[in-house]
Copies of this chain bind each other. A is one copy, B any other.
Amino acid sequence: MQRALIEAEKAIAQEEVPIGAVIVDALTGELVAVAHNEMEGQKDPTAHAELLVIQKACAETGQGRLSNCDIYVTLEPCPMCAQAISFARLRRLYFGAYDIKGGGVNHGARIFNATSCHHIPEVIGGIEEHACAKLLTDFFEKKR
Protein backbone atom coordinates (compact mmCIF):
# COMPACT_ATOMS: atom_id res chain seq x y z
CA MET A 1 0.00 0.00 0.00
CA GLN A 2 2.99 2.29 0.51
CA ARG A 3 3.75 1.94 -3.19
CA ALA A 4 0.12 2.72 -4.07
CA LEU A 5 0.33 5.85 -1.90
CA ILE A 6 3.43 6.97 -3.82
CA GLU A 7 1.44 6.57 -7.06
CA ALA A 8 -1.44 8.57 -5.58
CA GLU A 9 0.98 11.37 -4.65
CA LYS A 10 2.27 11.46 -8.22
CA ALA A 11 -1.30 12.16 -9.36
CA ILE A 12 -1.39 15.39 -7.31
CA ALA A 13 1.47 16.90 -9.33
CA GLN A 14 -0.69 16.36 -12.41
CA GLU A 15 -3.74 17.86 -10.72
CA GLU A 16 -5.43 14.48 -10.79
CA VAL A 17 -7.50 13.19 -7.88
CA PRO A 18 -4.89 11.28 -5.80
CA ILE A 19 -5.79 7.62 -6.14
CA GLY A 20 -3.06 5.06 -6.75
CA ALA A 21 -3.08 1.36 -7.55
CA VAL A 22 -0.50 -1.39 -7.87
CA ILE A 23 -0.67 -5.02 -8.92
CA VAL A 24 1.72 -7.46 -7.30
CA ASP A 25 2.53 -11.07 -8.19
CA ALA A 26 1.34 -12.82 -5.04
CA LEU A 27 3.73 -15.75 -5.51
CA THR A 28 6.97 -13.82 -6.07
CA GLY A 29 6.04 -10.53 -4.42
CA GLU A 30 7.20 -8.72 -7.55
CA LEU A 31 5.55 -5.52 -8.71
CA VAL A 32 3.70 -6.14 -12.00
CA ALA A 33 2.24 -2.69 -12.73
CA VAL A 34 1.52 0.69 -11.14
CA ALA A 35 -0.93 3.43 -12.10
CA HIS A 36 -2.72 6.46 -10.79
CA ASN A 37 -5.93 8.18 -11.71
CA GLU A 38 -5.57 9.99 -15.08
CA MET A 39 -9.12 11.15 -15.71
CA GLU A 40 -8.20 14.81 -16.17
CA GLY A 41 -5.12 14.35 -18.34
CA GLN A 42 -6.71 11.76 -20.58
CA LYS A 43 -10.15 13.43 -20.57
CA ASP A 44 -11.46 9.93 -20.06
CA PRO A 45 -13.96 9.07 -17.31
CA THR A 46 -12.81 5.43 -17.40
CA ALA A 47 -9.15 6.28 -16.66
CA HIS A 48 -9.38 5.21 -13.02
CA ALA A 49 -6.19 3.92 -11.36
CA GLU A 50 -7.58 0.37 -11.12
CA LEU A 51 -8.61 0.04 -14.79
CA LEU A 52 -5.27 1.47 -15.90
CA VAL A 53 -3.24 -0.83 -13.65
CA ILE A 54 -5.22 -3.89 -14.81
CA GLN A 55 -4.70 -2.90 -18.47
CA LYS A 56 -0.97 -2.41 -17.83
CA ALA A 57 -0.63 -5.69 -15.93
CA CYS A 58 -2.39 -7.63 -18.71
CA ALA A 59 -0.12 -6.01 -21.31
CA GLU A 60 2.93 -6.73 -19.14
CA THR A 61 2.08 -10.40 -18.58
CA GLY A 62 0.35 -11.03 -21.93
CA GLN A 63 -2.53 -12.56 -20.00
CA GLY A 64 -6.13 -11.56 -19.57
CA ARG A 65 -6.38 -13.31 -16.22
CA LEU A 66 -4.29 -12.28 -13.24
CA SER A 67 -5.23 -15.13 -10.89
CA ASN A 68 -1.86 -15.13 -9.11
CA CYS A 69 -1.91 -11.41 -8.53
CA ASP A 70 -3.21 -9.06 -5.85
CA ILE A 71 -4.28 -5.43 -6.31
CA TYR A 72 -3.68 -2.62 -3.82
CA VAL A 73 -5.72 0.58 -4.23
CA THR A 74 -5.77 3.64 -2.00
CA LEU A 75 -9.57 3.99 -2.23
CA GLU A 76 -12.46 1.53 -2.26
CA PRO A 77 -13.06 0.77 -5.96
CA CYS A 78 -16.16 2.10 -7.73
CA PRO A 79 -18.60 -0.40 -9.34
CA MET A 80 -16.82 -0.15 -12.71
CA CYS A 81 -13.44 -0.99 -11.21
CA ALA A 82 -14.79 -3.64 -8.83
CA GLN A 83 -16.32 -5.46 -11.83
CA ALA A 84 -13.02 -5.12 -13.74
CA ILE A 85 -11.17 -6.64 -10.74
CA SER A 86 -13.58 -9.57 -10.88
CA PHE A 87 -13.15 -9.98 -14.67
CA ALA A 88 -9.34 -9.92 -14.25
CA ARG A 89 -9.63 -12.75 -11.71
CA LEU A 90 -7.40 -10.93 -9.24
CA ARG A 91 -6.83 -13.02 -6.12
CA ARG A 92 -7.07 -10.32 -3.45
CA LEU A 93 -8.17 -6.72 -3.28
CA TYR A 94 -6.53 -4.59 -0.61
CA PHE A 95 -7.89 -1.07 -0.37
CA GLY A 96 -7.21 1.95 1.83
CA ALA A 97 -10.00 4.43 2.48
CA TYR A 98 -13.67 3.51 2.33
CA ASP A 99 -15.78 5.43 -0.20
CA ILE A 100 -19.27 5.90 1.16
CA LYS A 101 -20.45 7.95 -1.85
CA GLY A 102 -18.81 6.25 -4.80
CA GLY A 103 -17.63 2.84 -3.61
CA GLY A 104 -18.96 -0.32 -5.22
CA VAL A 105 -17.55 -2.97 -2.89
CA ASN A 106 -18.83 -2.21 0.63
CA HIS A 107 -21.24 0.46 -0.64
CA GLY A 108 -23.62 1.24 -3.51
CA ALA A 109 -23.99 -1.53 -6.08
CA ARG A 110 -21.86 -3.95 -3.94
CA ILE A 111 -20.61 -5.68 -7.06
CA PHE A 112 -19.19 -8.78 -5.36
CA ASN A 113 -22.52 -9.49 -3.65
CA ALA A 114 -24.41 -9.91 -6.94
CA THR A 115 -25.23 -13.56 -7.64
CA SER A 116 -24.09 -13.00 -11.24
CA CYS A 117 -20.55 -12.08 -10.10
CA HIS A 118 -18.50 -15.09 -11.19
CA HIS A 119 -15.21 -14.35 -9.45
CA ILE A 120 -15.07 -12.74 -6.02
CA PRO A 121 -11.62 -11.72 -4.79
CA GLU A 122 -10.74 -11.82 -1.11
CA VAL A 123 -11.30 -8.25 0.10
CA ILE A 124 -9.31 -6.48 2.81
CA GLY A 125 -10.33 -2.84 3.32
CA GLY A 126 -8.99 -0.11 5.60
CA ILE A 127 -5.25 -0.69 4.97
CA GLU A 128 -3.41 2.59 5.72
CA GLU A 129 -6.90 4.06 5.76
CA HIS A 130 -5.94 7.36 7.41
CA ALA A 131 -3.04 8.14 5.05
CA CYS A 132 -5.10 7.20 1.98
CA ALA A 133 -8.08 9.30 3.07
CA LYS A 134 -5.90 12.27 4.10
CA LEU A 135 -4.41 12.54 0.60
CA LEU A 136 -7.93 12.92 -0.79
CA THR A 137 -9.30 15.33 1.84
CA ASP A 138 -6.18 17.54 1.60
CA PHE A 139 -6.47 17.58 -2.19
CA PHE A 140 -10.13 18.61 -2.22
CA GLU A 141 -9.61 21.20 0.57
CA LYS A 142 -6.92 22.91 -1.52
CA LYS A 143 -9.24 22.84 -4.55
CA ARG A 144 -11.85 24.94 -2.75
Q: Which residue numbers of A lie inside 8 Å of B, CB to CB?
A: 39-40, 42-46, 51, 54-55, 58-59, 62-65, 78-84, 87-89, 101-104, 107-111, 114-117
* Interfacial chain B residues near A107, Cβ < 8 Å: 116
Copies of this chain, how many? 2
The complex places the Cα of A115 from the Cα of B87 at a distance, in Å, of 24
B44 near A62 (CB under 8 angstroms)? no
* Interfacial chain B residues near A103, Cβ < 8 Å: 116
B79 near A109 (CB under 8 angstroms)? yes
B45 near A58 (CB under 8 angstroms)? yes
User: Of the candidates B44, B83, B117, which one forms a contact with A59 in the assembled complex, judged by CB atoms under 8 Å apart?
Assistant: B44
A-B contact sample (5 more), CB < 8 A, given A42-B64, A101-B116, A102-B116: A46-B51, A83-B104, A103-B116, A108-B117, A109-B110
Nearest B residue (CB) for A40: B64
* Interfacial chain B residues near A43, Cβ < 8 Å: 58-59, 62-64
